[in-house]
Structure 1
C-alpha cells in the first residue's frame, strides 16, 4: 500500500473516488461471480444492471478499461506520457470526446441513466478497492456516462470503421466465425447459434468480457469488448445474435491537392478551416508540458499529413447516429423477430456482419453497416486514396437498411459468415453480387476458412447439437484437400531423400492441426511458400478461385516441380526451426499465459482451418497465440436451452487474477464449459457475492 498512498490520498482529496449513495436498506441488486470469474448480475431495473456491469468491469478489467477511457478523452498523454501523443492527436482531431458529449445529450433520459449507472459502478469499485488498480489509473476517475459513450464511439467509428492506421497508410485485420441453423437443418428441430469472434490475445480494446445480465423482463448472456456497457454477442432463452467483422467502407480517405495555403476543389482553391487545441503531456518528472495542436479540416473532414508526404482528409459515415450502444441493448431485449428487425432498421451500428437466430426458427444474416452511396466504382476505388479535388467523389448520402445484403430463413436451412463477402452467406447462394453496387463488397475471392465454414454447414443433411460443437472445433486443413494428393504424387517422382522423407511425413499426417499432429508444421512451412506469407495467394494453384464455384476452388498445382522444390525448402526450414520435420504441432505451439503452459492446437485461417489460431514467431523453441479463438458460445434454443462456451484467455486481465488463464486447459483439451445461465446453476458455483 505504501506506493499507492499518495495516489489514493490525492484522489480522495480531489473527490474523484466517491461512490454514489446506495441505501443499504434497499439494495439495487447483486453480482454473483462464478468460479470462472463470470459476473452474473441481477438488478431491480435496467440502471441497476448497468451499475453492476460497470462494477464487474472495473473488477475484472479495470486497468485496461480505465486506460481506454483516458484515451477516449484525448488525455492519455496527460495521464501516461509521450507514448500516447499520437493516440490523443487522432482523438482530438476527429472530435471524439466533444461528439460523445453531444451524443450522450441526444440519448433518451432512460439510456443516459444506464450509461451513468455503468460509470457509477466503476467509480464504486475504485472507491472500495483502489489498491486493486494500477496507481496511475486512479487519476482518470471519476468516470462519467460521457466517458462510456466516448469509448464506444472511438471503438466503433475510429477503430473499426476509420482506423488511424488506414488513414495514415497502414493496415488492420480481424476475424470471426458465425453460424445460425434453422429447425429444418437441425436434428432436434431447434435453432442453433454459434458466436466465435477472433481477435488479438494481448489485453487491449479488443479483449472480450463474458457476463450475464438479468433484470425485469430481460436476460442477456454473452460477451462484449471490455469497457462497452452492452453485450455485442448475446443470447437468452428465446434468441441470440453475434457479429463478424465485415469491413464495410464507412469511411473515405481523400487525397488533397495543396495550393496557396489551401486545397483545390472543383477548380478553385479553398482555405482550410483551422482551429487550435492543447495537448498536455506528462513528463518523466511528473510535470505537464503543453503542446498546441494546429488542426485543419477540409470540406471532407479532418486533415492529416502522412509520413509519405500525402495530405489526407477522412470522411466518416454515421457521425450523426449516436444510438449504436442503445441498439445493441434493444436487440437483446427484443421479444420477436419482427421487433428485432425493426430495431435493426435503425441502422445505428456502423459496421459488422450480424447473424441472428431464435426459438421460433428464424435466422438472419445481415451485411450491416452505414455505407456511403457512390455514383460508381468498386471496393478497391473507395478503399484506397480517393481524389479529393472534385465534388464528384464527395458522397452526401448513405444506404438505408433495405439496400443492404441480407439472407432470412433460406431454403438451405442455415446462414454463415467467416469474414467473407456476403454472397455465400448460405449455400446454394441466396443473394448475388451482380444485384448490388460493386463498392458494396468484393465478389470474392472467398477464403479457405469461409469455404470450410460453408462445407461444415452445407454438407450434412441434419446437424445435432453435439455435431454442431464438434464442427466448430474442426482442425482439418482444407488446403490439403486441394493440393496434397498432387504434391505427394509429384514428390514420388523425385529421387531426393529430403523430398521423399518430407513426403512420407505428409502422407502419414492426418491433415489436422491438433496438438499431436506430426505433419502440420511441415505443411504450414510449405503452404507459406506456395500461397505467400499470409496463405492467401492463389497464383500457384492450377485452378484459381472461381466465383461460379466459390466453395470448391482453388485447387491443384500449376507447377508440380516448383511445388516439390518448395517442399524440399520447407523440410530444411522445419529442421532448422523445430529440430525435425515431424515435430508434434503442440510441442511447438503452446497455450501459455503466466504459469500455465499447455499443448496448443488450431491453425492459420487462410490455410482453411476453422478452429483458428494465429501463432507468434518462434522464440526459445515455442510460439504462442497472437490472435484467434477468444469468446466461443454454442446455443441450442431447446427447452431448456443448451449452452456451452469458452473464453480462451480467461475472463480477467487484472494482474494476479486467477481468471487470466484458468480456461486454457479447456482450450488445450478442446472441451467447453457448460454456461450457467440460470440462477439455480449459478448458485452452485459462486466464488464471490457483491450486493449493491
Structure 2
C-alpha cells in the first residue's frame, strides 16, 4: 500500500472519528439527569369529546403525574424542548436559536436559582413537581422512539423548576434588555420616575411622547415561543349587578399558537381538594389561569419598570469592577453551549459574568450589569399552586400579596359576585430619596443603587368591586380599568414604580364599549370580545395622518385612495380590509416597542406589491389573505393586529397568504349564575393534540374558533362522564 493511500485512509479515519465525536459528545457530556425519589403514582385521565383531559388522582401529586402523561400524549414534542431549555441543552435541538436560550439560562443562573430555592419550597409543592417530573420520565421510558435527545431523561423536580426560573423574567421584557446589550445597541426606555430634569409624561401625553412605548427596545426575541413585539391579552370581569345577575370572567390571552408558551387546556381534580379548569404552558404541573368551583382569574402582560441596568467601571485587566471605591472580582464561569449544525453538534465556549448587581454583559461600549424584579427567587411555584386551591377572595389575594409572582395583571371574579383587578408586579424597592435616573443606565459603582426585594403589595394599583360593575385590561395602563368615576388616579402612585401609561387600540375599544353598555349580559359581552374595529387614535391616527399627506397622484395613488376609504374594521367585509391588515401591524409594533415610526410610503408600496403579486388585485377579501392553517385544514380569519378579536402576527406563506401564529389563543368564558354551580366554555385555535397530526383532536376546534364559537368545559364529574370519549389509568408501577 502506497504512502498516499495510507495517508488518505488515515485522513478519512480521522474525519470519521471527528464526525463521530461531534455527533456524540453532547449527550455524553450532559449525562442523564437525576430521577425523582422512588414513589408510585396513579392517575385517571378521562378525555371529553374534544380530547381535553380531565386528570384526577387520590392526591395532588398523583394528579400532577397524570398532567405530565396527558400533556405528553398530546405534545411530547414541545415538552422536550422545554425540558432541554431547563437543562441548558436546547441548542442541541434547535441550533443557534436554541443556543441563545442556553446562554441566557447560564447568564441568569437559572439552574443555580432552582438548586438554591427549590429545597426551600413547602413539601407539598415539591411533591407536585417531583410527581410531574416522574410523569415525564414515565412517558419517555414508554415511548423511547419519540425522545429527541439522548440523556434528556430522567428529569427531576429541580429540572422542572429551572425551566420556571429561566422563563419567568421574559414576561416583563428581560429579552429586550439582554438583546440590545449583547448587540451593543442603545436601550430604549419608556417613562420613569419623576426626577429633576426628567419629567414624566402625563396620561394624556402617553401616546404622543417619543418614549411612551413599553420600557425597553425589544430587538432580540429569544425563541421561547413568545413574540415580544406583539404581547397582548384581553381580560374582562363583570359583577352580577351589571351582568343581569350573572358574574362573568372572560379569559382571552394572546399567546403564540404553538411552542413553549402556547396554552394547553386541562382540568385537574384530586382527593385533596384540588379541582381546577384552565390552561398551562408546557412544563407546568398546574394551570396558570382558569377557575375552580369558587373563583377564577385570568392574566394580561403588564410592563412596569422591572429592570435596571448599571454600567460597571472595570480595571485594566477587565476582571474587576469598582463598587463603593473598592475593586471587586467579577464572577466568571465558562460554559459550553451545544449548537446543532446539520447532523453534528458543535461545542461553543462562552464566558458568563456576574457582579453584585446581577448578570453582566460586555460589549464595545463597556460592561453592563442587569438587575430585575424577582431575581433569584422561585416562590411563584408555590404561589400558583395555592391560587389554584384558594376558596375565597381573601385567600386568593393573600397569595398575590406575597409578591411571589413577578409580573402580569390579574383580573378576578368569584361565586360571591366579587370582581377585582390587581396590577401585580414585584417592582424593585428602589430607595426613596436617592438621586438617580432610574429610567436610564445607572452608575455601577454605588451599592446604594443595588435595591433588595420588591415594593409592598399595598403600593400597587388595585380595584375591588368598582361602582361601574366591570373591569378589564388589554395591556393598557392600570389607570383605565373600570370606567369614569371608578378608575384609579395615577397621581396616587409613586413614580418610582414606573407604571406604564400606555393605551392600546384594544383598550380604547373595550373602554368605550363597556362604558356604553347598560347591561353586560352574554350577548353584549360577545359583541365586545369579538369586536374588530380600530379607533383613529394613537399610532392609527399617526398612520392615517401621514397617509393624508401622500400625493393623490403617482404610482401609489390607487393604493392610497383604497386605504383612505377604509372603514376602520377588520371584519373582511370592506374592500380595504386586506391592505389595512398588511399596513397596521408594523405601526402597532413600532408603537409597542418604541421603535422608529415606519415610513408610510415604503409600507404602502410593500402592501400594494404583495397584494398584486399574489392576488392580482389591491382589494381581495381579507379572509382570502388571513388564514388559520393546521395540517390540511385552511380556514379564513377575521380580526387584526390590535383588535379585540386579535390576529396579531403571522408567517407569510409561499402563496402569499398570512398564516396566523399569534393572537387569540385559549379563550375561557366562566359564569356564576344565582343558585347554580359554576359553568364555563372554552376554545383553542387548533385542538387538544397540537403536534399529533394523526390524532382526531389535531384540528377539531378550528372551525368553531374561526366562527366565534365556544365549546363546553366539563368541569363537573357527572357532566364529564356523560361526555367522555376515552378513559385510562396511568401509573409508574411496574406492570
Q: Could you say which TM-score interval applies, normalised by the shorter chain?
A: 0.7 to 0.9
1:426–1:689 distance in 2 versus 1, CA, 3 Å: same
Q: CA deviation at 1:687?
A: 3.4
Corresponding residue number in structure 2 for 1:678: 716
Distance 1:514 1:392, change over 3 A: same
Provide the C-alpha distance between the structure 2 equivalents of 1:565 and 1:595, rounded to a whole number of angstroms. 35
3-state SS, counterpart of residue 286 of structure 2: coil
How far residue 397 of structure 1 moved from its aligned partner, in angstroms, is 4.2
Determine the structure 2 residue equivalent to 1:643: 680
Aligned partner of residue 628 in structure 1, secondary structure: strand
Alpha-carbon deviations, 1:263-313, whole Å to 9, x = none?
55467352333343442637779888766554332221221223x544221
1:620 aligns with 655
Pairing 1:595–2:628 present: no
2:529 is matched with which residue?
472
- Residues 110 and 457 of structure 1: is their aligned pair in 2 closer, same or farther, counting only changes over 3 Å? same
Q: How does 1:262-277 map to 2 (within 5 A)?
A: 262=319, 265=322, 268=325, 270-277=327-334
Which stretch shifts more, 440-449 or 283-292?
283-292
Q: 1:204 aligns with which of 238, 253, 259?
A: 259
> SS state of the match for residue 123, structure 1?
helix
1:415-564 mapped onto 2 (5 Å cutoff): 415-428=471-484, 429-442=486-499, 444-479=501-536, 511-524=568-581, 534=590
2:691 to 641, 650, 654: 654
Post-superposition CA distance 1:116-136 (Å, at most 9, x none) = 1111111122222333x2x32
Query: How far does residue 66 in structure 1 lie from its aligned partner after superposition?
Result: 1.9
* d(CA) in 1 for partners of 2:140, 2:609: 55
CA shift for structure 1 position 38: 1.4
How much has 1:46 moved relative to structure 2? Answer: 0.8
1:314 pairs, out of 357, 370, 392, with 370
Q: Distance in 1 between matches of 2:506 and 2:340?
A: 47
Q: 1:69 to 1:490 in 2, by over 3 A?
A: closer
Residues 388-403 of structure 1: matches in 2 within 5 Å? Answer: 388-403=444-459
The match for 1:363 is 419
Question: 1 CA distance for matches of 2:552 and 2:520?
Answer: 44
2:45 aligned with 1:28: no
Q: Deviations over 1:372-391 (max 9, x none)?
A: 1224799x964553332333
- Inter-CA distance 65–40: structure 2 relative to 1 (3 Å threshold): same
Distance 2:535 2:380 in 1: 37
1:113 aligns with 2:169: no
C-alpha distance 294-664 of structure 1, shift in aligned 2 (>3 A): same
In 1, are the aligned partners of 2:407 and 2:426 still within 8 Å (CA)? yes
**Partners in 2 of 1:443 and 1:377 — Cα distance?**
22
What's 1:38 paired with? Answer: 52
2:161 paired with 1:149: yes
Contact conserved, 1:17 with 1:124, CA < 8 A, in 2? no
Determine if contact 2:32/2:151 at 8 Å carries over to the other structure: no
Q: From the superposition, tell whether residues 617 and 102 of structure 1 become closer, same or farther in structure 2 (CA, over 3 Å).
A: same
Q: 1:136 to 1:499 in 2, by over 3 A?
A: closer
Deviations 1:352-384 (A, max 9, x none): 111111111111111111111224799x96455
Report the Cα distance in structure 1 between the residues aligned to 2:519 and 2:533, rounded to whole angstroms: 20
Residues in 2 aligned to 1:16 and 1:266: alpha-carbon distance in whole angstroms: 39
> How far apart in 1 are the matches of 2:380 and 2:595?
41
Distance 2:694 2:137 in 1: 20
Q: TM-score scaled by structure 2?
A: 0.78
1:160, CA displacement in angstroms?
4.3
Q: What is the aligned partner in structure 1 of residue 20 from structure 2? A: none
Deviation at 1:143, TM superposition (A): 1.7
How large is the RMSD of aligned CA atoms in angstroms?
A: 4.0
Aligned mates of 1:167, 1:339 — CA distance in 2: 41
- Relative to structure 1, the CA distance from residue 419 to residue 218 in structure 2 (aligned partners, 3 Å threshold; closer, same or farther) is same
Preserved contact between residue 113 and residue 378 of structure 2 (Cα < 8 Å): no
- Tell me by how many angstroms 1:198 deviates: 1.0
Describe the shift of the 1:564–1:175 C-alpha distance in structure 2 as closer, same or farther (beyond 3 A). closer
Give the structure 2 partner of residue 176 of structure 1. Answer: 233
Q: Give the distance between the partners of 2:562 and 2:181, measured in 1 at CA.
A: 48
Distance in 2, matches of 1:139 and 1:567, equals 51
Q: Is the 8 A contact 2:651 2:660 kept in 1?
A: yes
Matches within 5 A, 1:564-603: 574-575=611-612, 578-603=615-640
Displacement, 1:409?
0.9
Q: Is 1:75 aligned to 2:89, yes or no?
A: yes
Farther off after superposition, 664-673 or 207-216? 664-673
- Secondary structure at the counterpart of residue 303 of structure 2: coil
Q: Which residue of 2 aligns with 1:240?
A: 296
Structure 1 residues 581 and 377, CA, compared in 2 at 3 Å: closer, same or farther? farther
Task: Provide the C-alpha distance between the structure 2 equivalents of 1:565 and 1:680, rounded to a whole number of angstroms.
Answer: 59
Q: Relative to 1, partners in 2 of residues 1:589 and 1:500: Cα closer, same or farther, differing over 3 Å?
A: closer
Tell me if the contact between 2:42 and 2:65 (Cα under 8 Å) persists in the aligned partners.
no
Report the CA distance shift for 1:622/1:384 in structure 2 as closer, same or farther (over 3 A): farther
Partner Cα separation in structure 2 for residue 240 and residue 369 of structure 1: 19
Q: CA deviation at 1:424?
A: 0.8
- What do residues 588-643 of structure 1 show as CA deviations (whole Å, max 9, x unaligned)? 111112211111111010xx554343233464221111311111111111213332
Q: 1:78 to 1:499 in 2, by over 3 A?
A: closer
Measured against aligned partners, the alpha-carbon deviations of 1:414-452 in whole angstroms (never above 9, x if no partner) come to 111111121112212521222212242455241222111
- Tell me how far apart the structure 2 counterparts of residues 393 and 22 of structure 1 sit (CA, whole Å): 47
Taking a change above 3 Å as real, the CA distance of residues 599 and 535 of structure 1, as seen in their structure-2 partners, is farther
CA contact (8 A) 2:633 2:699 kept: yes
Change in Cα spacing, 1:517 to 1:19, as seen in structure 2 (3 Å) is farther
Matches within 5 A, 1:295-374: 295-306=352-363, 308-319=364-375, 321-374=377-430
Distance 2:344 2:562 in 1: 65
